[in-house]
Amino acid sequence: MVTISKTGGPGLRFENEVVRLEVNESGGVSRGDLLKLELADGAYSKVGATSTSDGIPSNLFGVAMEGGVNGQKIRVGVRGAFDVLCKYDVAVGEIVRQSTSTARALSKTASNPASSGGSYNKIVGIALEDAPAASGTAITKVLFDGITGFA
């Protein structure tokens, strides 16, 4: 669950949870990439780039807060408001999930999960702004929870 902080002004402030994990990706990762946390020896200590089939509920996700090469430890956001690579058609307020057509990115989700052929993908965020691109992908502010997701 994303943690909400008290604020002196209007609106909510979301606390970011960030960890340092080792990159396990031969081509490295870039800031904003959606990453999959890798379980090995009873711990999540490494991350790799997501593929288009990683959106299953049992996977845990993070966002690269900085670029890094294979073997390097980087900061990875797991809960909070982060700049994430999103498909061009993501709009403010939409729920987002791991893209099934673009690796390392989020895409909008049908409001009815059953409309996607009966498959289920973990809902990991809510877009806080429109994706600033006419096509392809762009860094977009997302309220993100890669651990438990949003129900």
Each residue's pLDDT tens digit, 39-62: 988 999 999 999 988 888 889 999
**Cβ-based neighbours of 62, under 8 Å, separated by 6 or more:** 19, 21, 34, 35, 37, 47, 76, 77, 78, 146
Q: CA 44, 59, 136: angle at the middle one, nearest 5?
A: 110
3-class state of residue 100 by DSSP: coil
Q: According to the model, what pLDDT value does residue 113 have?
A: 56
Assigned token pair, 52? 């288009």
- pLDDT tens per residue, range 115-124: 555 467 889 9
Q: Please give the average per-residue pLDDT across 28-40, as a whole number.
A: 96
pTM exceeding the 0.75 threshold for the entire prediction: yes
